Structure 1
Amino acid sequence: MTKYATLASITDVLLDPTTTPQLRRDTIEIYRDLLLTASGVDLGDAASVDHVDTGKGVAIGMTWAALCVDDMIRTQRFVTGLHRAIQDVAARRGGPVHVLYAGTGPFVTLALPLMTRFTPQQLQFTCIEINPASLRAAQRVIQQLGFEDFIADFIEADAATYVIDTPRPIDIVLSETMQYCLIDEMQVPITLNLMAQLPEETILIPEQIRLSLVVLDEAGDKIVAELGPIFSVDKNSLRIHSIGAANADFPTVRLPVPIHVPPAKLELTSGPLAIRTGITVYGEEVLYDYDSGLTIPKIIGDYPSAEDPLEAIDFTYHLAPSPLLWMDFVVPEAVAAE
């Protein structure tokens, strides 16, 4: 079987909503092997492991970016969501759909499968990558698979500061440059920068990332209650922030943490507090709790009690000096005065 035929069969599985977990696992393993062979990447090389400090945040090292393909449900949902977005754009106008892929990593993982479903006359990618080793690997993958005609440009740049200068209008911005709870990585600065330069109709993938405060069970492996929303990244929130001060912090959100929380059966012996990450990739393609490494709740502390009281938590998403969700635990005044 040729490399193209192998990738086409991989795409068939990734786009099939009835794919079984075992078939998905086997298919992702084949996909990883194909990518490693085509890229020539040595995942054990010391230089590949190191992260890139952009000065405003962290771009993960080439090895870790490459291993994201193993987050199987994430890979499948993003490929499927991108496919549907491309179809939606193509249905309303002629000419190639132009995707700006910010943070391709060494494999161009989310774009490659769709190059077996469309022609270069139907689909074009502009690829941005800050890590020069990852960029070179991505170029090798495209060359090895014979997909050069799908690439409008490869750009070595920080997508968080890149000024868009392409002759063809951009229809879709694809950027999956995050960890759970938007820790460290550049998802927010990148999408804030790029979407501020594009018209309202431009599609953003993922469409929405939602952070919320939740309570887990005592074992810490199941969500039993949600206390409220913390932060949302979507076209609307990004545009509102851009109209104000694009480099300023996002507004602080204060969430009370009462001792008794619905449902009523939740007792003082509640499990830990955690931050939940919900991701809508596009349309009906959603990553739910525990589907992915991106949607595992992050434990931030014990649930309050009479002996260890807590009034509220203030959450502020900082852009500078680096992306960070800052938390300030607010204790009752009487406790604070002691």
Structure 2
Amino acid sequence: MTSIQEKLSHYTKDILFPLGFHAKLAPAITGLTDLLFTLHAIAPESEDLRTHLSTKSGNAIGPLWAALCIKEVFRTQRFIQATHQAIQDKLAQKEGPIQIIYAGTGPFATLALPLMSYYTSTEVQFTLLEINQISFDKMEQTINLFGFEDYVNTAICADASTWHVPADLSADIVLSETMYNGLYKEPQVGVMLNFATQTDNSCIFIPEEIKVDLVSKPLQVERVNHLDTLITFNRAFMNSLIQQSTHRLWEFPIHRIPLPALAQEKLYLATEITIYRDFTLKINDSSLNLLRRFHIPLPTEGSEIVVQYQIKEIPAFEVVG
């Protein structure tokens, strides 16, 4: 085992330790971050690393921003722990290797790399998808530097929102963390819907559920008032949407929401994520869970707004009436 493999195994052990926050968690995330940034000499000032790619399903963030996501302690810990639990559950049901499609790897394949150090290549195999060529090249370099080539079924530079799953690939887990708070701007919804059309219900999706509520919050007060649940994005929702839509022209439900007196309040989108089973991210646990301002036309007293999610170059919940 090389020195970088030993370091990765050490950090992985602390990340997978079955507690919430503990003394070794933040040092493990910091150590893993420093290791990966040093291996690739990530230069924050590089314009190429900062540039996003625009797709029909949302922005694919630049390599620097994708790399920086690893620094969020609970976000990284819980996604890795949740994926580990999903692998354990699948291994209890069938012989390996468990086939995992990891869509949107960024430059480090952050959520896969620690698990490659934990499992054998006969237990897990990854199909790695990344649309940004710079991120893709760095991801392949990362896999090679750690000697994890045997864990990779295939690696493809492609748009995960349109990629066709080969007939001979039976996915057990689909993993994608290509989202922003309020399901804004990034292609998480389009990516997951693409794979939901090509996998059966036995396939575990990570995250398992993303719930976005419309809330109001009085000025200078932490308390929020729930107005409506705009989406509960899980497998059941996706199945229903697929059945009701044609030619992948997704028609999301319309929500008519009576507005409270908003003179002293503003509207926000509140995002909560069930990654898998008991592994969750609640409000303020990560940047994915920060309240997001929801701007609306100036309301009149007693009015309502009509809100619908739309997939396009900048996906978002929008006021449509």
Structure 1 residue aligned with 2:258: 256
Partners of 1:200 and 1:127 in 2: CA distance: 21
Q: Is the 8 A contact 1:211 1:232 kept in 2?
A: yes
User: In the TM superposition, what are the counterparts of 1:118-129 in structure 2 within 5 Å?
Assistant: 118-129=119-130
Q: For structure 2, list consecutive stretches of 5 or more residues without a partner in the other structure.
A: none
Q: Is the 8 A contact 1:7 1:113 kept in 2?
A: yes
Structure 1 segments of 4 or more deviating over 4 A? none
1:289 is aligned, of 270, 278, 283, to 283
Q: For structure 1, list consecutive stretches of 5 or more residues without a partner in the other structure.
A: 260-267, 331-338
Q: Is the 8 A contact 1:39 1:107 kept in 2?
A: no
Structure 2 residue aligned with 1:188: 189
Structure 2 residue aligned with 1:207: 208
Q: Is the 8 A contact 2:70 2:110 kept in 1?
A: yes
| Equivalent AA in structure 1 for residue 242 of structure 2 | S
Structure 2 residue aligned with 1:45: 46
Structure 1 residue aligned with 2:311: 319
| Equivalent AA in structure 2 for residue 94 of structure 1 | E
SS at match of 1:237: helix
Which whole-Å deviations, capped at 9, do the CAs of 1:34-84 have from their partners, x for residues lacking one? 111333433321111010112442101111111111121111110010000
Deviates more, 1:36-45 or 1:2-11: 36-45
Structure 2 residue aligned with 1:109: 110
Deviates more, 1:159-168 or 1:108-117: 159-168
Partners of 1:140 and 1:41 in 2: CA distance: 13
Partners of 1:294 and 1:22 in 2: CA distance: 24
Partners of 1:191 and 1:237 in 2: CA distance: 11
SS at match of 2:242: helix
Structure 2 residue aligned with 1:95: 96
Partners of 2:228 and 2:309 in 1: CA distance: 16
Change (3 A) 1:252 1:17: same
| Equivalent AA in structure 2 for residue 272 of structure 1 | K
SS at match of 1:100: strand
**Post-superposition shift, 1:219?**
1.9
Q: Is the 8 A contact 1:41 1:137 kept in 2?
A: no
| Equivalent AA in structure 2 for residue 132 of structure 1 | Q
SS at match of 1:223: coil
**Post-superposition shift, 1:227?**
1.5
Partners of 1:167 and 1:40 in 2: CA distance: 37
Structure 1 residue aligned with 2:292: 298
Fraction of identical pairs, as percent: 34
Change (3 A) 1:310 1:75: farther
User: In the TM superposition, what are the counterparts of 1:1-338 in structure 2 within 5 Å?
Assistant: 2-18=3-19, 20=21, 23-165=24-166, 167-219=168-220, 222-245=222-245, 246-259=248-261, 271-300=265-294, 309=301, 311-320=303-312, 322-328=314-320
Number of residue-to-residue matches in the alignment: 318
| Equivalent AA in structure 2 for residue 235 of structure 1 | R
**Post-superposition shift, 1:272?**
2.2
Partners of 2:75 and 2:126 in 1: CA distance: 21
What TM-score do the two structures reach when normalised by structure 2? 0.92
| Equivalent AA in structure 1 for residue 199 of structure 2 | L
What TM-score do the two structures reach when normalised by structure 1? 0.88
SS at match of 2:171: coil
Change (3 A) 1:314 1:188: same
Partners of 2:295 and 2:141 in 1: CA distance: 45
Partners of 1:285 and 1:296 in 2: CA distance: 18
Partners of 1:288 and 1:139 in 2: CA distance: 33
Change (3 A) 1:301 1:131: closer
Partners of 1:231 and 1:58 in 2: CA distance: 20
SS at match of 2:294: strand
**Post-superposition shift, 1:136?**
0.5
Change (3 A) 1:42 1:120: same
| Equivalent AA in structure 2 for residue 224 of structure 1 | V
Larger Rg: 1
Change (3 A) 1:281 1:56: closer
Change (3 A) 1:310 1:133: farther
**Post-superposition shift, 1:122?**
0.3
